[in-house]
Amino acid sequence: RLLGSAACAPRSRRAGGLVGRLMAPKDDKTTPVDKLRAFYRSHQANKTCADCPERGPTYVCLDFQIFVCQSCAGLHREFGHKIKSISFSEWSSAEVAKLEEGGGNEAARTKWLDRWHKDTFPEPDGTDLEAVREFIRLKYVEKKWYRPHAKPAVTQAAPQAAPESTAQAGLDLLSGADAEAPATA
């Protein structure tokens, strides 16, 4: 009779409720960290540290929208750059959107290493922290190889000639003539 008593019923309902909640399918809403991880996995360049050959970076440098390893994250912190862990930090939707907009490691490489040549300054192998620190300093602080308007090679289109009206407007601005006035030949 004790087994069928009302005292046992709430416990079994509670356990069933807990199991039911644990086994229930998750909402379709994706969290910011889920979006971050999806972006990380969707680009091969993000799977390697942006500043050394270490595979599987676990941090993000928000200042440059790049994925970096633990060692490089520490070096970036030395320069005062904002670093967050992929797994152990709280992420806002705005931070993830900015990272996606920035393009990740591939876009950063195109932008920050546009004028870089392996022959003049070899990329550090990651074992010598002083060499990696110097590389990060030259790359981001000194902007030695930076080109602000660089686009990833995949999306870069060939330059096209400006339309006649735009070219004429530019000429009018340079000559001091009134762009609205009819041109006289």
Short-list 148, 183, 157, CA closest to 168: 183
Q: pLDDT band for position 152 (50/70/90)?
A: low
Residue 36, pLDDT score: 95
Cβ contacts of 6 within 8 Å, gap of 6 or more: none
The beta-strand segments (E) located in 1-87 are: 59-61, 66-68, 83-85
pLDDT in tens, 61-105: 999 999 999 999 999 999 999 999 999 999 999 999 999 998 999
The beta-strand segments (E) located in 69-161 are: 83-85
pLDDT in tens, 104-122: 999 999 999 888 888 888 8
Residue 124, pLDDT score: 86
pLDDT at 38 over 90: yes
Measured CA to CA, the distance from residue 84 to residue 37 in angstroms comes to 13
Residue 28, pLDDT score: 55
**Strands 66-68 and 59-61, bridge-based pairing:** antiparallel
Measured CA to CA, the distance from residue 148 to residue 133 in angstroms comes to 22
Give the CA angle between residues 134, 135, 136 to the nearest 5°. 90
Measured CA to CA, the distance from residue 58 to residue 40 in angstroms comes to 10
Enter the tokens of residue 34. Answer: 């889920």
In whole numbers, what is the pLDDT of the chain averaged over residues? 77
